[in-house]
Amino acid sequence: MQYRGLLAQYRALLNLPAHTRPITLLEGNTPLIPAPHLAHELGGGFELFIKYEGLNPTGSFKDRGMTAAISEAAGRGVTTVICASTGNTAASAAAYASRAGMKSIVLIPQGKVAAGKLAGAVAYGAQVVQIDGSFDDALAMVVEISNKHPIALVNSINPYRIEGQKTAAFEICDVLGQSPEWLCLPVGNAGNITAYWAGFRQYNDLKWCGLPRLLGVQAAGAAPLVLGHPVEKPETVATAIRIGKPARGEQALEAADESDGRIIAVSDEEILHMQKILAKLEGIWVEPASAAGLAGLAHQVVHEKLDLRGKRIVAICTGHGLKDPDIVTKGLHQPILVAPRLDALEQVILGEGKAT
Ligand SMILES: *Cc1c(COP(=O)(O)O)cnc(C)c1O
């Protein structure tokens, strides 16, 4: 049977009002890719899967929540939506709003949005406004605007975003037949970790699939949940999790706690190293923030001697590498240039001895 999108697939399990009118780009249904080479690199003896959320229609998991939020808004006749965004929410909101025939307005922190995300928001037709401030400032502003004007807020404070994002947990259990022992994922505004925990708990009540321990991972320069207080000026290369005051921080801490898991921080170097080896060892290229969950797993194995033997681990890779190409090409020398002759090419790729 043809796949008809997340609302068609899981509607009965999502707490959405009756007026909801499905707007879909056939999001979700993303692959759970085995990562044996990376598992071996991390010491081996366990099973590792990557839930590759970068393969959603606009290149990030945000589409799961957005199909729900926009469908609910469409059903009650909303004509304009707004969000604050580090980039991926903007692109997703813009795409789903366009599909629903709505206008979208996105607020982004000045100069801190990756090229592929800004391009997406523009391509899908959003009105893009830069704020001379942080994501947290932008979020405070859209909350106020949406209270004051007939404009619907589609940030993850919107409860339907969380409903939609629960579906990733359902998919994992449907594919594996049970929940993994550990689930690792990046944490920014903390909507996603909140949604996964809600999804696993709901599915466990229904199907006895068990519950994972959650490993939520923040960037060291933007780690309010690890430090225990907001971060005024969050800084990290992982722009999608460059958030100093997570809207669902309390829920994230509760989820980690209830699951017997934890929230930790890793350095930008660990994140970029993981981004690199994931692409190199498994052929999976993700944006920096998306590598944070796996970087956290590696950190736990190396520094905390976390014992993974015989376990099944799922890492959520939240967004595609193409979202942030500059991270890879920045500081790169131009690829080597050769004359259009076979001997010149041979010399470069086979080494000097062979080409004469
Ligand atoms: C939004 C986003 C995150 C963080 O998700 P939260 O729900 O804000 O915690 C992580 N990675 C990517 C690629 C994102 O777009």
Within a 10 A sphere around the Cβ of 303, how many other Cβ atoms? Answer: 10
Q: Is the CB of 60 under 6 A from ligand 1?
A: yes
Cα gap 321→286, rounded to integer Å: 4
pLDDT band at 264 (very low <50, low <70, confident <90, very high): very high
pLDDT band at 111 (very low <50, low <70, confident <90, very high): confident
Residue 84, domain member (yes or no): yes
Cα gap 200→196, rounded to integer Å: 6
Nearest to 139 by CA among 158, 167, 125: 158
Q: Are residues 139 and 203 in the same domain?
A: no
Q: Is the CB of 91 under 6 A from ligand 1?
A: no
The answer to whether the beta carbons of residues 266 and 217 sit under 8 Å apart is: yes
pLDDT at 256: 98
Q: Each residue of 191-250: pLDDT tens digit?
A: 999 999 999 999 999 999 999 999 999 999 999 999 999 999 999 999 999 999 999 999
Three-class SS of residue 111?
A: coil
Q: Give CA 147 to chain center in angstroms.
A: 27
Q: Are residues 153 and 168 in the same domain?
A: no
Domain count within the chain: 2
Tell me the best of 192, 251, 263 to mutate to test the pocket of ligand 1, counting ligand atoms within 8 Å of each CB and taking the most.
Answer: 192
Q: Is the CB of 218 under 6 A from ligand 1?
A: no
Sequence-distant (≥ 6) Cβ neighbours of residue 81 within 8 angstroms: 69, 70, 73, 93, 97, 102, 103, 104, 105, 151, 152, 153, 154
Nearest CA to ligand 1 atom 5: 188
Residue 293, domain member (yes or no): yes
Three-class SS of residue 319?
A: strand
* CATH number of the domain to which 87 belongs: 3.40.50.1100
The answer to whether the beta carbons of residues 272 and 196 sit under 8 Å apart is: no
Within a 10 A sphere around the Cβ of 3, how many other Cβ atoms? Answer: 11
Q: Are residues 143 and 180 in the same domain?
A: no
Three-class SS of residue 240?
A: helix
Q: Are residues 282 and 260 in the same domain?
A: yes
Q: Each residue of 290-348: pLDDT tens digit?
A: 999 999 999 999 999 999 999 999 999 999 999 999 998 887 888 899 999 999 999 99
**pLDDT at residue 355 is higher than 70:** no
pLDDT band at 68 (very low <50, low <70, confident <90, very high): very high
Domain span at residue 153? Answer: 62-158
**Domain termination residue (choose one: 158, 177, 205):** 158
Q: Are residues 111 and 187 in the same domain?
A: no
Nearest CA to ligand 1 atom 1: 240
Q: How far is the CA of 298 from the centre of ligand 1 (A)?
A: 19
pLDDT at 352: 63
Query: For residue 24, which phi and psi values (nearest 5 degrees)?
Result: -135, 150
Q: Are residues 80 and 216 in the same domain?
A: no
**pLDDT at residue 132 is higher than 70:** yes
Cα gap 140→224, rounded to integer Å: 17
